[in-house]
A and B are shown apart, each in its own frame.
Chain A
Amino acid sequence: MNTIRILKPGACTTVQDLGRPGFGPMGISPSGAADPVSLRIGNRLVGNPENAAALEMTLSGGHFLFSGTTAIAVTGADFSATLRGTRIPSYTSIAVDPGKVLEFGWTANVARCYLCVQGGIDVPEFLGSRSTHLLSGNGGYQGRELRKGDVLNVGPPPSNSRPRQLSGQGHANLVPRKVFRVTEGPQWSMFSESARRSFFGQTYRVSEVADRTGIRLDGQPLELSAGSDMLTEGVALGAIQIPRDGKPIILFVEQQTTGGYPKIANVIAADLFRVGQLRTGDEIHFESVSLETARSLLLRLEAYLSSPELIRE
Chain B
Amino acid sequence: MNVELLPNIRFQPASDQSLLVHFGQEISLETHREIVSFLKLLDANPLRGIVNLHPAYCSVLVRFDALHFTHAEIEQQLAPYLGRLHEFGEPKPRLREISVCYGGDHGADLAEVASLHAISVEEVIRIHCSAEYFVYFLGFVPGFAYLGGLPRELETPRLPSPRKKVPAGSVAIGGNQTGVYPISTPGGWRLIGQTPIKLFRPESEEKSFLAIGDRVRFLPISAQKFDELAAA
In Å, the complex CA distance between A25 and B202 comes to 14
Answer whether A298 and B143 are a contact pair too, CB < 8 Å, given A27-B138, A291-B13: no
B63 adjacent to A243 (CB under 8 Å) = no
A269 adjacent to B162 (CB under 8 Å) = no
Can you list, as one digit per residue, whether each of B32-69 has a CB less than 8 Å from chain A (1) or not (0)?
Answer: 00000001000000000001111111111101001100
Answer whether A24 and B140 are a contact pair too, CB < 8 Å, given A234-B20, A298-B16: no
- Considering only residues 160-198 of chain B, those with a C-beta below 8 Å from chain A are 160-162, 164, 174-175, 177, 183, 185-186, 188
- Considering only residues 64-91 of chain B, those with a C-beta below 8 Å from chain A are 66-67, 70-71
A232 adjacent to B139 (CB under 8 Å) = yes
B158 at the interface (CB under 8 A from A): yes
Please indicate the chain B residues that have their CB under 8 angstroms from the CB of A26 in the complex. 138, 142-143, 207-208
Please indicate the chain B residues that have their CB under 8 angstroms from the CB of A21 in the complex. 51-52, 63
In Å, the complex CA distance between A234 and B21 comes to 10
Report the number of A-B residue pairs with Cβ-Cβ less than 8 Å: 167
B18 at the interface (CB under 8 A from A): yes
A234 adjacent to B161 (CB under 8 Å) = no
Please indicate the chain A residues that have their CB under 8 angstroms from the CB of B70 in the complex. 295
A243 adjacent to B161 (CB under 8 Å) = yes
B27 at the interface (CB under 8 A from A): yes
User: A residues bordering B, Cβ < 8 Å?
Assistant: 21-28, 30, 126, 133, 135-138, 183-186, 209, 213-214, 229, 231-239, 243-245, 247, 256-261, 263, 266-269, 291, 294-295, 298-299, 302
A257 adjacent to B14 (CB under 8 Å) = no
B220 at the interface (CB under 8 A from A): no
Select which of A27, A243, A247, A298 is within 8 A of B141 by beta carbon.
A27
B146 at the interface (CB under 8 A from A): yes
B149 to chain A, nearest CB (A): 15
B54 adjacent to A137 (CB under 8 Å) = no
Answer whether A136 and B16 are a contact pair too, CB < 8 Å, given A21-B51, A24-B63, A26-B207: no
Select which of B16, B141, B160, B177 is within 8 A of A245 by beta carbon.
B160
B53 adjacent to A136 (CB under 8 Å) = no
In Å, the complex CA distance between A22 and B161 comes to 29
In Å, the complex CA distance between A28 and B162 comes to 20
Q: Which residue of chain A has the shortest Cβ distance to B157 in the bound complex?
A: A229
Please indicate the chain A residues that have their CB under 8 angstroms from the CB of B142 in the complex. 26-28, 133, 135-136, 138
In Å, the complex CA distance between A183 and B5 comes to 26
Please, could you name 29 A-B residue pairs with CB atoms under 8 Å apart, sorted by A? A24-B52, A24-B53, A24-B63, A25-B54, A25-B55, A26-B143, A27-B139, A27-B142, A183-B15, A185-B15, A186-B14, A229-B157, A231-B58, A232-B56, A234-B55, A234-B60, A236-B17, A238-B15, A244-B158, A244-B161, A257-B54, A257-B139, A258-B54, A258-B146, A260-B188, A268-B16, A298-B17, A298-B67, A302-B67
Q: Which residue of chain A has the shortest Cβ distance to B145 in the bound complex?
A: A27
B134 at the interface (CB under 8 A from A): no
Given contacts A231-B56, A260-B175, 6 further A-B contacts (CB under 8 A): A25-B138, A27-B139, A243-B188, A258-B140, A291-B71, A295-B16
